[in-house]
Amino acid sequence: MATTVRLPTIQRRVQAVLIAAQILGGLGITTGIALAAVLAKDVSGSEALSGLASTASVAGPALLAMPLAALMGARGRRPGLVLAYLIGAVGAGVVVLGAVVDSFPLLLAGLVGFGAASSANLAARFAAADLAEPDHRGRAISTVVWATTIGAVLGPNIAAPAGESVAGLGIPATAGPFVWAAGVFLVAALVVALLLRPDPLLTARDLAAPAAGQEGDARSLRAGLRAVRESSGARLALVTVAASHTAMVSIMSMTPVALSHHGAGIQLIGLVISGHIAGMYAFSPVMGWLSDRLGRLSVIGLAVGLLSLAALLAGTAGASHGQTAAGLFVLGLGWSAGLVSGSALLTDSVPQAARAAVQGLSDFTMNTAAGVGGLTAGLIVAQAGYGWLNLVGACLLLPMAVLAVRGVLCRA
C-alpha cells in the first residue's frame, strides 16, 4: 500500500534518472556513429564494406537483446542497463584499437560492442513505461526517447572536435569520437547504478502481485513467444518497430557516403545527421501524445506516411544537400512515430509478467532486421545507387501498412 501511495514520486524519480542516462547515452552513441561508415571505408578501403559498420553496430543490440531481457527479468532494469553501457564503453575502446592497427575485423568487433550501448537506450523506453498508467504509456515512453535529443544532436557536431583532440596520439581523426564515447558510457553506467532506485520493473511486479507458481514461467522466453502469438496487437507492434528501425538504419547509414560523393565535408555531414537525429527524438513527445490521444494504430499509419515521404525526398535528392537533409529529418520523424506507437502497443498487448521477455524479443527482432538492412544497404549503394536504396527502404513498410489496415478493419 505504501508503495502505491508513493508511486507518482517513484515514477518521477525513475524518469529523471532515465532522462539523464538517455542524454549521456545519446551523446556517446551519435558522437561515434556519425563517422562510423566513413571510418569503416577508410580502414577497409571498400565502399561496399562500409555498410558493415552499421550492421556491426546494430548486431550488438541484437546479440544482447535476449540475454539482457533475461537479466532484467530476473534482476530488474538497473543491472541490465549498467551492463549494456559498460559493454558499449569496452567496444568503443576496441574500435579505436582497430583503427590504430588498421584492422577491419577488429574494428567490426569493436562496433558490435559499441552498439550494445544502444540496448540500454532502447530498454530505457520500456523502463519508463513500467510504472506508467495505461493511458499515459505513450507519453512516458516518448519523454525518455525525447531526452536522447540533447545528447544525440550534440554528438555528430562534436565529432570533428573529438577527432582533433586525438591529433598527435597516433589515432585517426575518424576514431577520435569513439574515445569520447567510451568515457561518456562509463558516466552513464555510474548514473544508473547509483540512482535508479527502486528498480521500476521489480516495483511494477510487486504491484501486479502475480499468482503464486506462475511468475517464473511467465517471465521465460517461451512465455514471451506465446504472448506474441496470442496477440495480434503484439504482432503488429513487432513488425512496426522492426520495419521502422530497419528502413531508418538502412537509409541513414549510407547517407554520409552519398553526401561525400556530392562534395559534402565532415561538418556538413554532421549537420545533416544532427537534423535527422532531431527528427528522431525532439518530436517524440508529440508522437507519444498522439499515440495516447488518437490511438496506436493512427500513429502507426502516420509512421508509414512519413517514412515513405522521407524515402522519396532522399532518394530523388541527387546533389541537393538541402533536399537530402529534409529527407533525413522526415526519416527521423517517421522512425519516432513508429518506435513510440509500436512500443506502447507492445506494452499494452501482453501481460505484465511477460513484458520483459516480449520487449527483449522486440529489440532482438528490430536490431537483427536492421543489421541485415545495414549490410544490404552498402551493397545496394555500391551496385545500384543511393536512390535505389531508398526505394527498397520504402518497400519494407508494406507489411507494416497491411497489418495496420487489417487492425483498423478488425476494430471497425
Instruction: Give the model's pLDDT for residue 211.
Output: 46
3-state SS, 138-178, equals HHHHHHHHHHHHHHHHHHHHCHHHHHHHCCCCCCCHHHHHH
Nearest CA to 240 out of 312, 335, 174 is that of 335
Q: 221: pLDDT confidence band, cut at 50, 70 and 90?
A: low
Query: Any residues with CB less than 8 A from the CB of 308 and at least 6 apart, and which?
Result: 334, 394, 397
Does the CA dihedral 238-244-245-251 come out positive or negative?
Answer: positive
| 46 pLDDT more than 80 | no
Instruction: Give the model's pLDDT for residue 3.
Output: 55
| 339 pLDDT more than 70 | yes
Q: Are 259 and 37 in contact (CB under 8 A)?
A: no
Choice between 237 and 74, residue whose per-residue pLDDT is larger: 237
| 12 pLDDT more than 60 | yes
- Grid cell locating 129: 513505461
d(CA 176, CA 155): 12
- CA distance between the termini of the chain: 40
Q: 295: pLDDT confidence band, cut at 50, 70 and 90?
A: very high
Instruction: Give the model's pLDDT for residue 213.
Output: 44
Instruction: Give the model's pLDDT for residue 52.
Output: 76
Instruction: Give the model's pLDDT for residue 341.
Output: 95
Q: Are 48 and 375 in contact (CB under 8 A)?
A: no
Locus of grid cell 551496385? 383
Which amino acid does the sequence have at 46? S
Q: 49: pLDDT confidence band, cut at 50, 70 and 90?
A: confident
Instruction: Give the model's pLDDT for residue 204.
Output: 87
| 230 pLDDT more than 50 | yes
Instruction: Give the model's pLDDT for residue 32.
Output: 82
Q: Are 339 and 146 in contact (CB under 8 A)?
A: no
The residue count for the chain: 412
Across the range 92-116, mean pLDDT stands at 92
| 297 pLDDT more than 70 | yes
Q: Is 210 helix (H, G, I), strand (E, B) or coil?
A: coil
Percentage of the chain beyond pLDDT 70 is 95
Q: Are 48 and 170 in contact (CB under 8 A)?
A: no
> Which alpha helices (H) appear in 6-136, and where do they start and end?
7-33, 36-44, 47-75, 77-100, 104-129
Across the range 79-91, mean pLDDT stands at 96
Q: What is the mean pLDDT of the chain?
A: 86
Across the range 187-195, mean pLDDT stands at 96
- Grid cell locating 18: 532515465
Instruction: Give the model's pLDDT for residue 166.
Output: 82
Degrees to nearest 5, angle at CA 36 with 30 and 38: 130
Instruction: Give the model's pLDDT for residue 392.
Output: 94
d(CA 231, CA 67): 23
Q: Are 249 and 374 in contact (CB under 8 A)?
A: yes
Buried b or exposed e, range 192-214, using 16+ CB within 10 angstroms: beeebebbbbebbbeeeeeeeee
d(CA 254, CA 141): 28
Element (H, E) at 70: helix 47-75
Instruction: Give the model's pLDDT for residue 400.
Output: 92
Nearest CA to 114 out of 90, 88, 85 is that of 88
Residue-wise pLDDT tens digits, 135-170: 889 999 999 888 877 877 777 777 778 878 887 788
Q: 218: pLDDT confidence band, cut at 50, 70 and 90?
A: low
| 4 pLDDT more than 90 | no
- Biggest CA-to-CA distance, the chain: 66
Residue-wise pLDDT tens digits, 265-277: 777 887 888 788 8
Choice between 412 and 322, residue whose per-residue pLDDT is larger: 322
Point out the least confidently predicted range of 187-201, 246-260, 305-319. 246-260
Instruction: Give the model's pLDDT for residue 212.
Output: 42
Instruction: Give the model's pLDDT for residue 148.
Output: 78
